[in-house]
Chain A
């Protein structure tokens, strides 16, 4: 019985393009993700951080492959090794630039104190280049229905635009931000493709501004009364997500988002709550370690502090370092579970895809891009989406 034949019971349906908007679904379990991230954090610790390339890849693979759009799951085909190579290449380019920057700074500082500061600008340009190229890498590793997304355009052309808009934003004290984001996103999306379907961005700066101007006014107060900052930031991010997603087009396919402020406010407070709890546990742990060390030394607390013996106590320092590392890993875990996975789900939950039928017969096209941009982003500590 080698020749088994399964025929679907129902005849092959000739599906008409769905008229109703389709939504996205997430199939992954929270527990799986938590295990993945916890294991990854442990490995990051053991490998002194080198595991970050593989952890980032694992996280993306999990999020991508469990995301189903119109019933078909996305796939992430990038690998950790590519990120490592990208990082090494980026370092090989950045290190001589750092050295040159150092020498130039010395020359500049001879004439005027702190005159070397503007020389930081090229690094800003590199950061913007990295943001563009990192998105290009991620997009070319994204596959849906057997066809990959891809991007052309130039990272430097993008960096140049980002710098000019950044200057404009500085002059207008941040008021130009919506127009900056619209212009930069237009450039990115114009150069994005799904197979032979070209992307575009229809979000207008003015729309963003109308929805978010009051947050701009609130920002100084929010910064002053720290408690308000998460609300204002959540409000801003919600407006930004909704506006960004609703502006995305691929050919005739249209995205729409109904993300609300409440969606994000709750997420941020959950993250803050967890981190606060971890902080309390950390402090309690420090207190207990201190008590143990003082008890073992046979001194009273006052003696211990007066002789300043605490700063030189090796057991106390070892205990504190262990506690600190556990705290950092815990915070990382919370950030990744709440602010990556849960946020991702929130985004999927509120997104609607209109006219998906227009993407029913797309021809594969496009080349893979290198992970150099990701490497720069890692080396320069910039994040972009």
Chain B
């Protein structure tokens, strides 16, 4: 038979059997009987049922098989092509171990399902969890968090709290009025920090910081009051805690999703910015609602705050992608505040002297 001649051609090499118990290399001959018989000179033949034979990984040009009823690492290695073809034709279930197209479809299917579930978690479940979990976090813990971030903020912006007595008195008066109108207890602490950045923010645990650059841009007490009321709104809604739970959860879930695709850092960052920004915009809108509520309660208009913001940022639309912004667009906020504009019915929040004192809260005492 020509097959016999082929099996002896020099580059094909012998058929080799490893019994899976020792690594002895056995040169064997094969007999295709009712089962495959593996025969080695001077040893009892080993018999493998055809239906138990499975293909395993082998180098190009070699058929390597194992057998379910043999030791798991027993291997038969056939380099002779004709012999391999003969064996393949007898083993109907040879390929069952291999990862075929079906398995890949399954992996893709489950991955898509997992991705959809993670996206749903981030969009739907996480806001719910954050909203309901945040009020359960003890105030004491929130205050500790605030203290930790305060230490960092002072390390970055310097410890330049402005403290001219007259200005401080005016500031505290304004804050007290706003706090009471917003329905917050006496736990709120606040300070003015001397920095160049026009901003104000609330820290977890009831701390509000106003940066002097924002104070400098304010033209009347109502403008400033609106901003402070907005920050008090964040405190009232415990937005720090909520956004921390939300951001942390979103980062974790999105990181889990993209895992280890090299270069996925940018993807993770981008998608996280997208989802947390939408959550943050909602929080900002709710804080603006507090501004409107408080200012109305005090008989003042919220519109000046919108004007102050507009003066600082200018028109934002069309410049940046609005879906990436953490705040609503300034012109939209101004529009909303304008719609809520009322003729002042209450007394001014600060007298002219108090306002002047407040504007000068960061001035160094005039001595050289």
Q: Identify which of A49, A72, A317, A378 gathers the most chain B CB atoms within 10 Å of its CB.
A: A49
Option from B32, B56, B71, B111 in Cβ contact (under 8 Å) with A75: B56
* A106 with B74, Cβ < 8 A, contacts A3-B32, A49-B264, A361-B22 known: no
Residues of B within 8 A of A (CB): 3-4, 7-8, 13-16, 18-25, 27, 29-34, 40-41, 56-62, 64, 71, 73-75, 77, 83, 86, 99, 104, 107-108, 110-112, 114-115, 144-145, 147-149, 151-152, 154-155, 248, 252, 256-264, 266, 270, 318-322
Question: Which parts of A322-366 form the interface with B (CB within 8 Å)?
Answer: 324, 327-328, 331-332, 335, 359-364
* A148 with B29, Cβ < 8 A, contacts A73-B58, A308-B318 known: no
Asked whether any CB of chain B lies closer than 8 Å to the CB of A66, the reply is: yes
A-B contacts, 26 of them at CB < 8 A, read A2-B32, A6-B3, A6-B15, A6-B30, A28-B59, A29-B60, A46-B111, A47-B115, A48-B115, A48-B257, A49-B259, A50-B107, A52-B259, A61-B57, A65-B64, A73-B58, A75-B56, A75-B64, A76-B57, A77-B56, A143-B75, A321-B270, A328-B262, A359-B23, A363-B21, A381-B260
Residues of A within 8 A of B34 (CB): 2
Asked whether any CB of chain B lies closer than 8 Å to the CB of A315, the reply is: no
Residues of A within 8 A of B252 (CB): 95, 98
Residues of B within 8 A of A91 (CB): 256
Residues of B within 8 A of A80 (CB): 99, 107
Cα-based distance from A328 to B262 in the complex (angstroms) = 7
- Contact A49–B261 (Cβ < 8 Å): yes
Residues of B within 8 A of A106 (CB): 144-145, 148
- Contact A8–B258 (Cβ < 8 Å): no
- Contact B321–A312 (Cβ < 8 Å): yes
Residues of A within 8 A of B (CB): 2-10, 12-13, 27-29, 32, 43-52, 54, 58, 61, 64-68, 71-73, 75-77, 80, 91, 95, 98, 102, 105-107, 109-114, 143-148, 195, 307-309, 311-312, 317, 321, 324, 327-328, 331-332, 335, 359-364, 378, 381
Cα-based distance from A168 to B266 in the complex (angstroms) = 35
Cα-based distance from A372 to B286 in the complex (angstroms) = 45
How far in angstroms is the closest Cβ of chain B from A22?
13
Residues of B within 8 A of A143 (CB): 73, 75
How far in angstroms is the closest Cβ of chain A from B1?
8
- Contact B321–A362 (Cβ < 8 Å): no
Question: Which B residue's beta carbon lies closest to that of A381?
Answer: B260
* A147 with B321, Cβ < 8 A, contacts A27-B60, A49-B261, A113-B151 known: no
For the complex with contacts A65-B59, A80-B107, A378-B260, 18 further pairs of A-B residues with Cβ separation under 8 Å are: A5-B31, A32-B60, A45-B261, A46-B111, A49-B260, A68-B59, A73-B58, A76-B57, A95-B252, A109-B149, A109-B152, A110-B148, A112-B151, A146-B18, A312-B320, A331-B262, A360-B23, A360-B25
How far in angstroms is the closest Cβ of chain B from A206?
35
Option from B4, B104, B261 in Cβ contact (under 8 Å) with A52: B261
Option from A47, A309, A335, A362 in Cβ contact (under 8 Å) with B22: A362
Question: Which B residue's beta carbon lies closest to that of A50?
Answer: B111
- Contact A49–B24 (Cβ < 8 Å): no
